[in-house]
């Protein structure tokens, strides 16, 4: 991560871990969000 490479946060910092989890969470739930929005668009359950 850029914060780690620039030395703003040390390697293994808790803040860095939390930011990584938040960033990865969007990609983890992306298929569910796409499916839900497609169901609304196609007027389906």
Cβ neighbours of residue 20 closer than 8 Å, sequence gap 6 or more: 1
Q: How confident is the model at residue 1 (pLDDT cuts 50, 70, 90)?
A: confident
- On whether the CB atoms of residues 33 and 21 are closer than 8 A, the answer is no
* Res 38: pLDDT: 95
Q: Where are the domains of the chain?
A: 2-41
The model's pTM: 0.59
Q: What is the mean pLDDT of the chain?
A: 91
pLDDT at 39: 94
Q: First CA to last CA across the chain, in angstroms?
A: 39
């Amino acid at each position: 991560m850029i914060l780690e490479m620039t030395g703003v946060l040390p390697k293994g910092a808790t803040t860095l871990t939390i930011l990584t989890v938040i960033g990865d969470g969007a990609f983890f739930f992306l298929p569910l969000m796409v499916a839900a929005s497609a169901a609304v668009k196609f007027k389906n359950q």
